[in-house]
Chain A
Amino acid sequence: MHGARRTRQTPEAIAARKQREQSKLKDYLSLTEDVIARRKKSDWSKDSFDLTTRVLQINPEFYTVWNYRRNIMSYGLFVESSPESINDLLSDDLSMTTMALKAHPKVYWIWNHRRWCLENVPDGPGDSHDWKKANWNRELAVVEKMLDADARNFHAWNYRRYVLANMPERRPEAAELAYTTRKIEANFSNFSAWHQRSKVYTSLWESGQLNREKSIRDELELVKNAMYTDPNDQSAWLYHRWLIGSGNDREILESEITAIEELLEEQPDSKWCIESLVHYKRLLIKNHSAEFGAEQTKGLLSQCVSFLLQLQTLDPPRRNMYQDIVDTLSAT
């Protein structure tokens, strides 16, 4: 029961509720018994299909009934149908599950059923793929509505990646970048959108559509805005870590350290500034200490240690983590 408030009911109130629910319960039990009995007999009729609709509208988590519904379509309704009627049936199911998702946005089985519907849309009309294109294109609009309602719904983000990767007419990936920009500008704290951005960039770099170095410089500007807007928000700092990665580029590493030190002057108690400085200075030591020698390495190490001691005071719940890192550094 996620997020449902507890109410204290008297035994009388519970008995009254159960009394009120009696007819509902009786209807539900006779309906589900009927559906399960039909399923056992491999009844692939339209009547049974309509009964599954009724069960699933009451209880969209009843996975066995979703399975039965798909079997009715595959072994019953589709067998005698023209491609056009199959397309109509699947489009209807997509509409039915859109309604269901609005009420139950986190039910795995509903999202799963949509994938099956999409994957079974036939070719046509005629030699074209217009049915497929129309259904898949509509999915992006649906998933955007779902993400407008809850911008962190991971089911919706996963589904979005699935649609983008499988739709018959692929959208340019730059369009997805623009989408994540919109989501991030609406709320800097939307880590799901930052995550998606990291995946889109990786793909754009791998395919050679964008220059990695140039994108990273642009992104560092964007993420800096977010860091200045709310220095306590984890999302931007995590994305920043992704941009820096293993810290092979000494110039970027040093200029970002300088930028964070400037922010720290404005926000002297910012845990995330200090924690990030420790991380990046450790990367500097790890990757580049051979270039600047022992004296500077020692200086960086002692800066890290004093930051870690400061973090133990600023962020007591994670005190032992900072101490463990101090111990690791002392051992090197």
Chain B
Amino acid sequence: MAASETQLYVDKHVAYIKSLGDNKDDLTYHMTAHLRMNAIYWGLTALCIMGHKEALDREEMIDFVMSCWDDEAGGFGAHPDHDAHLLATTSAIQILVTHDALDRVDKARVARLVILSLQQPSGVFAGDSFGEIDTRFSYCAVNSLSLLGCLSDLDVEKTVSYIRACRNYDGGFGNCIGAETHAGQVFVCVAALAILDRLDEVDHETLGWWLAERQLPNGGLNGRPEKLEDVCYSFWCLSAMSILDKLSWIDSDKLISFVLSAQDSEGGGIADRPGDMVDVFHTHFGIAGLSLLGYPGLIDLDPVYCMPAHIIEAMGLRKGWKALPRRKT
């Protein structure tokens, strides 16, 4: 369990993800129902990257996703009988695309009536009709519209202008105008700009430098200056770095060791940092990060959509990102 871990326990992680649905007699399982759709997306994507997509039943998963459709609001909730939200809607679309089952939804309806209706006059997107705004929701909208093949319905300049207004002097982005740069928001803003072919809005050298400075002496990455490392930033920082072709600017060996040291070698799963409780969120982002770092035996991850790269390529949506070459051993 210590920093001496030298391999990824694929079988344990697959078993851990498979077991997540077996805990229906556990209070925590029910207390996290509001995250179910996202959790399924995280679990499925991690399985795909480990080459074990078949570990969860496809039909059962598609049925679950469709049972979360909220016909009144339009859009997907995180769980049956939960309200529609852009976060759950994006995960639902990503799951359906991964399973080649997008024909189950009325794409034009989701794109126009659901997603585009959430764009605010400022150009940012709200998460639902209650109006919370965040650049995360702009990314969800851009990502989903792109996967639905409806990007041409989007007012690109208006969308970009809000993201531009969130840019700070350190090259990074915050979650709304005036907010501090945060690695998670850097991921969503840079990836949204990548999808919109507007990376000219990014100061590549300054942001690359800010991202490289996220690496701490123990190899892990933090999300803001003078904060602690956390496995989830391994994906958020690395995604932006691979889009900007700056992955070589940090020590990938040390980061790989850090992510591996956060594994639970007995029960499977990855935690935020060594010795902590594992969860599917950190398991997914840890494995996603390892894929971008060229960890041997993993499937390529598309850092823009955070989905298996071959699926995005087959749809003709691949952008010009660069991951590290896949290692042999």
Q: Which positions in A face B, CB cutoff 8 Å?
A: 1-6, 8, 18, 21-22, 24-25, 28-29, 32, 36, 40, 58-59, 61-64, 67, 70, 108, 112, 115-116, 152, 154, 157-158, 161, 189-192, 195-196, 198-199, 233-235, 238, 241-242, 245, 316-318, 320-321, 324
Whether the pair B178, A18 counts as a contact (CB closer than 8 A) is: no
Neighbouring B residues of A24 by C-beta, 8 Å: 27
Residue of B nearest to A108 (CB): B132
Taking A22-B25, A116-B130 as known contacts, 18 extra A-B pairs with beta carbons closer than 8 A to each other, sorted by chain A number, are A1-B272, A1-B278, A5-B276, A5-B277, A18-B25, A61-B35, A63-B34, A63-B78, A63-B82, A67-B128, A154-B224, A158-B175, A158-B178, A192-B224, A199-B178, A238-B225, A317-B251, A324-B248
State whether B213 touches A234 (Cβ < 8 A).
Answer: yes
CB-based contact A321/B77 at 8 Å: no
| B215→A318 contact, CB < 8 A | yes
A13, chain B: closest CB distance, angstroms:
13
B30 interface neighbour in A2, A29, A198, Cβ under 8 Å:
A29
Q: A18-B26, A112-B130, A154-B180 are in contact. Are A6 and B226 (CB under 8 A)?
A: no
Query: Could you tell me if B180 and A2 are in contact, using CB atoms closer than 8 angstroms?
Result: no
| A–B pairs, 19, beta carbons within 8 Å | A1-B279, A3-B276, A8-B266, A18-B25, A28-B30, A40-B81, A61-B35, A63-B82, A152-B227, A157-B179, A161-B178, A195-B181, A196-B180, A234-B225, A235-B226, A238-B170, A241-B169, A245-B169, A317-B215
Q: Are A324 and B180 within 8 A (Cβ)?
A: no
Q: How far is the CB of B183 from chain A (nearest CB, A)?
A: 11
Sorted nearest first, the 3 A-B pairs with minimum C-beta distance are A317-B251, A321-B249, A1-B277
- Name the residue of chain B whose CB is nearest to the CB of A24: B27
Query: Is B300 in the interface zone, CB < 8 Å from A?
Result: no
Give Cα distance in the complex from A235 to B128, angstroms: 35
Partner of A67, one of B81, B130, B170, B275: B130
Task: Give complex CA distance A157, B246 in Å.
Answer: 30
Q: B302 — which chain A residues lie within 8 A by C-beta?
A: none
Q: Which residue of A lies closest to B206 (CB)?
A: A241
CB contacts (< 8 Å) of B249 on chain A: these are 318, 320-321, 324
Residues of A within 8 A of B180 (CB): 154, 157, 191-192, 195-196
Chain A residues within 8 Å of B170, by CB: 238, 241-242
A64 & B83 in contact (Cβ 8 Å cutoff): yes
Tell me the bound Cα distance from A18 to B26 in angstroms. Answer: 6
Q: Which residues of B from 156 to 198 have beta carbons under 8 Å from A?
A: 168-170, 175-176, 178-182
| Residue among B77, B181, B277 making CB contact with A6, cutoff 8 Å | B277
Q: Give residues in B with beta carbon < 8 Å to A.
A: 1, 25-27, 30-35, 77-78, 81-83, 85, 128, 130, 132, 168-170, 175-176, 178-182, 208-209, 212-213, 215, 224-227, 230, 246, 248-251, 254, 264, 266, 271-272, 275-279, 282
Output the least CB separation between B225 and chain A (Å). 4
CB distance from A276 to the nearest CB of B (A): 12
**Are B224 and A2 touching (Cβ within 8 A)?**
no
Chain A residue contacts of B271, Cβ below 8 A: 1, 6
Q: Is there an interface contact between A6 and B278, defined as CB atoms closer than 8 Å?
A: yes
Q: Least Cβ distance of B266 to chain A in Å?
A: 7
Inside 8 A of A192's CB, which chain B residues have their CB? Answer: 180, 224
Say yes or no: A4-B276 contact (C-beta < 8 A), given A108-B132, A191-B226: yes
Most chain A CB inside 10 Å of its own CB: which residue of B27, B209, B224: B27
Q: Which residues of B contact A235 (CB under 8 A)?
A: 225-226
Among B176, B225, B246, B271: residue with most chain A CB under 10 A: B225
How far, in angstroms, from A34 to B180 measured CA to CA in the complex?
A: 41
Look across to chain B and name the residue whose beta carbon is closest to the beta carbon of A14. B26
Contact B30 A25, beta carbon cutoff 8 Å:
yes
Q: Looking across the interface, which residue of chain A has its beta carbon closest to that of B224?
A: A191
Assuming the A-B contacts A154-B179, A242-B169, are A64 and B82 also in contact, with contact meaning beta carbons closer than 8 angstroms in the complex?
Answer: yes
Q: Is the CB of B34 within 8 A of A25?
A: no
Contacts of A25 in B (CB 8 A): 25-27, 30
- Complex contacts, B30 vs chain A, CB 8 Å: 25, 28-29, 32
Which of chain B's residues have a CB closer than 8 A to the CB of A241? 169-170
Q: How far is the CB of B35 from chain A (nearest CB, A)?
A: 8
Instruction: Report which of A64, A115, A157 forms a contact with B77, defined as CB distance below 8 A.
Output: A64
CB distance from A67 to the nearest CB of B (A): 5
- In Å, the complex CA distance between A191 and B225 comes to 7
